[in-house]
Amino acid sequence: MALPAGTHNSTFCVSESDYSWHFLPSQSLEYAEKPQSVTCRRCSIFPEWQPLKKPAVLKALAPGEPGGRRCRVGQGRGAPRDGSRMGGRPSSPLDKQQQQHLRGQVDTLLRNFLPCYRGQLGASVLRQISSELEPREPAGCQLMRSKKLPRVREHRGPLTQFGGHPPRWQPIFCVLRGDGRLEWFSHREEYENGGHPLGSMALTGYTVLTSQREYLHLLDTLCPVSSGEHTQEESDPLLEMPVNFPLFLKHPFRRHFCFSAATGEAQQAWRLALQGGIRLRGTVLQRSQAPAARAFLDAVRLYRRHQGHFGDDDVTLGSDAEVLTGVLMRELLPALRAQTLPGLRGARRNRAWAWTELLDAVHAAVLAQASAGLRAFQPEKDELLAVLEKTLRPDVDQILRQQERLAGRLRVEVQRPLESCLRGKVDTQLSLVTQKLLSSMEAVLSAVQTLLAQGMDRLSSHLRGNSSGTQLRKEVYSFGEMPWDPELMQTCYREAERSQGSLGQLVVPFGFFGTQSLVFGAQDLAQQLMANAVTTFLQLADQCLTTALDCTQAAQQLEKVQGRVLKKFQSDSSLARSKFIRAWLLCIFLPFVLHQLEGSCKVELLEFEGDVLAVGSPALTIEDIYKDIVQGVLLQRIDRELKKALGASDVSCTLDGCSEAPRDRTGVDEEAEAQRGTCPGQPGSGTEVRSLCPLPPPRTFRS
């Protein structure tokens, strides 16, 4: 019996016109809204709020002058920020003096950070060259690598938004773009006709809440009532009009957004879509393997160690400009809170909203200046990378020998305090943290395997059931899109989130607060493994299915392919699990050990610094050599613990270059956009669906 009509003559792909490619300009990283009124946003929404006297830290971050009600915003709720695309001159609640002060803060940050960045560029290029000279295939990787760049599926639909004057819920039409940018329009027709959005925002750093009570509690904690303080009673529209299906977007340094869906199903769909956009934008640097991206992340950690911050946290989520903005905002926040919050007047939640508006203005100003500074550094960075490549490659063997000689001498000096620190403060907890990470990753990968098997089973059953060509094409397309379907992948992503709280409690004593980055990394890994498995299945199916087979025979062939793919997946997931756990154990414990040894090894480092400088290589620094020594000894303990938990065969693989931060093997293309302070353009499905389909168009199944 022949295949169903249309089956073997189909290409099973869609055109690129079915999807949009969205590239996010650097200025649209900031919140923007279309002008709608000329009423001052703060003075109208928060009538009780009074500006305070100029604090020392930012020279009057409040919107008015001492004792007055004058506001410098100039526009109302819809005043465009730097990200506005309405063409008017951007406005800000900060006056020129305040903005100049912030520019000085960013300039100081860049002056201190860029030397770290230059040094790490040399070290990163050296690692890249040395790895190329010793090529080794990924140990045991059997699945084909999906070439599809990470993206989120575009999601759109009606919502209501809380805002305006007086505050009320207003209907809007929202669109989540493939690059993780959210836009909203007055109605669907405005979007369909290509009109400008009322507002847009990048989702980097946001968190989605779906509980109204939880969000109101969060507002209460932002501006706690001090002892003896009497606050006026307020009529709270959020409480007077309970929302059945809310979506609250909160950020530590930016304004909050309040949306509501019409049904529980719509709320769930939007929650999953928004969380996907947040993760996509957050891990843009972590996914890149380019030397400049690696160097930037290492430079951020080095800079923060110089500032006395040794533990890893979630500050490295986002583009380079967003990361530096987060670093500076964390430095400014204590003084801002101490000098600004006591001066806010009015009901507590009104003050909380005013506080988030103020933080948003500071964040926007810092982000704009950080983006400009990094863009100005771009030509120098490109030239430096070219020079490093040209000078290091011919002498790489000699440089590596010199590095090893220096490391050997320094290792003798630091070995004793290092071993003492590891025995006394790390070994006791290493096993517990390893087991927690292992159980979490096993649950994640088991969920991925189950979902993959179900998808392959569906294809076989449709083929065996003589489905129509149209239906079969639909099923093949849905199977190819599984890694990017947030509802399907949620079962896997949820497993990564389950242990976040308990794991956080285990690692807090070591100064690690990056559990959100860890969860994002596990979810990215699950998505990549699923994409690889889907690609492999469709390619192998293309090779074995011919027009000579009837539907039953074709289904039998697919079942054989399914068995092969599952074996390949089990092998690759085992190796990926070991790499992931190894990398994150390093992230958790390495900064802690470096901090513990700071005092005892300081003299030795100073003595060796002259020897390193005498080598004269920009790729060698005493800090990097010292860190590599500590990292190597710590990895021996991590590998020993993994061997006990997994068995020797599962830890034979090693991380590329034993990098400090966990990384996957995503393409280098994203780094250019990330280094310009933007999220990469996310492609539509068309280019990759062709490789995910059993047949490259326009051919049929090969005979």
pLDDT value, residue 369: 96
The Cα 422–Cα 430 span in angstroms is 10
Q: Which of 296, 313, 315, 163 is nearest to 253 (CA)?
A: 315
Most confident of 86-95, 142-151, 438-447: 438-447
The residues, ordered by sequence, that sit 6+ positions from 365 with a Cβ below 8 Å of its Cβ are 92, 94, 98, 99, 102, 103
Higher pLDDT, 416 or 68: 416
Supply the Cα-derived Rg of the chain in whole angstroms. Answer: 27
Instruction: Read off the pLDDT of residues 401-442 as tens digits, 9 standing for 90 and up.
Output: 999 999 999 999 899 999 999 999 999 899 999 999 999 999
111-120, 598-607, 679-688: least confidently modelled range: 679-688
Instruction: Read off the pLDDT of residues 453-466 as tens digits, 9 standing for 90 and up.
Output: 999 998 888 887 76
Amino acid letter for position 621: T
Answer yes or no: is pLDDT of 229 > 90.
Answer: no
Q: How far is CA 625 from CA 307, 559, 621, in A?
A: 20, 52, 6
pLDDT value, residue 648: 52
Q: Which of 201, 222, 517, 218 is nearest to 364 (CA)?
A: 201
pLDDT value, residue 473: 83
With residues binned 3-state (H G I as helix, E B as strand, rest as coil), the percentages for the chain, rounded to 5, are: 60, 5, 35
The three-state secondary structure class of 279 is: helix
Give Cα 306 distance to the centre of its chain. Answer: 24
The Cα 627–Cα 593 span in angstroms is 10
Instruction: Read off the pLDDT of residues 332-379 as tens digits, 9 standing for 90 and up.
Output: 999 888 888 888 877 778 888 889 999 999 999 999 999 999 999 999
Q: How far is CA 559 from CA 146, 433, 440, 445, in A?
A: 21, 39, 30, 21
User: What is the mean pLDDT of the segment spanning 173-202?
Assistant: 94
Higher pLDDT, 36 or 102: 102
Query: What count of Cα atoms within 13 Å lies in the side-chain half-sphere of residue 669?
Result: 9
Q: Which of 651, 532, 535 is nearest to 583 (CA)?
A: 651
pLDDT band at 550 (very low <50, low <70, confident <90, very high): confident
What is the torsional sign of CA 130, 132, 133, 139?
A: positive
Q: Which of 656, 684, 703 is nearest to 134 (CA)?
A: 656
Higher pLDDT, 71 or 496: 496
Instruction: Read off the pLDDT of residues 562-597 as tens digits, 9 standing for 90 and up.
Output: 999 999 999 999 999 999 999 999 999 999 999 999
314: enclosing H helix or E strand: none
User: What is the mean pLDDT of the segment spanning 78-88?
Assistant: 34
Answer yes or no: is pLDDT of 201 > 60.
Answer: yes
Question: What residues are paired with 249 via a beta bridge?
Answer: 208, 257
Do residues 354 and 57 lie in contact, with contact meaning Cβ atoms separated by under 8 Å? Answer: no
pLDDT band at 650 (very low <50, low <70, confident <90, very high): low
Q: How far is CA 29 from CA 19, 112, 142, 199, 468, in A?
A: 22, 24, 39, 12, 46
The Cα 690–Cα 575 span in angstroms is 28
Q: How far is CA 490 from CA 149, 276, 314, 329, 574, in A?
A: 19, 10, 22, 32, 21
The three-state secondary structure class of 682 is: strand
Instruction: Read off the pLDDT of residues 385-411 as tens digits, 9 standing for 90 and up.
Output: 999 999 999 999 999 999 999 999 999
What is the torsional sign of CA 239, 48, 80, 369?
A: negative
Instruction: Read off the pLDDT of residues 286-340 as tens digits, 9 standing for 90 and up.
Output: 999 899 999 999 999 999 998 888 888 899 999 999 999 999 999 999 988 888 8
Q: Does 93 sit behind a cis peptide bond, omega within 30 degrees of 0 on the bond before it? A: no
Instruction: Read off the pLDDT of residues 624-647 as tens digits, 9 standing for 90 and up.
Output: 999 999 999 999 999 999 999 887
The Cα 108–Cα 636 span in angstroms is 39
pTM (whole model) above 0.85: no
Q: Where are the alpha helices (DSSP H) in 57-203?
A: 96-133, 188-192
The Cα 198–Cα 186 span in angstroms is 7
Retrieve residue 302's tokens.
């080095």
Answer yes or no: is pLDDT of 72 > 70.
Answer: no
pLDDT band at 554 (very low <50, low <70, confident <90, very high): confident
The Cα 151–Cα 276 span in angstroms is 8
The Cα 287–Cα 672 span in angstroms is 12
Higher pLDDT, 505 or 471: 505
The Cα 298–Cα 312 span in angstroms is 11
Retrieve residue 621's tokens.
């620094």
Retrieve residue 433's tokens.
């943290």
Do residues 32 and 75 lie in contact, with contact meaning Cβ atoms separated by under 8 Å? Answer: no
Q: Which of 256, 243, 271 is nearest to 349 (CA)?
A: 256
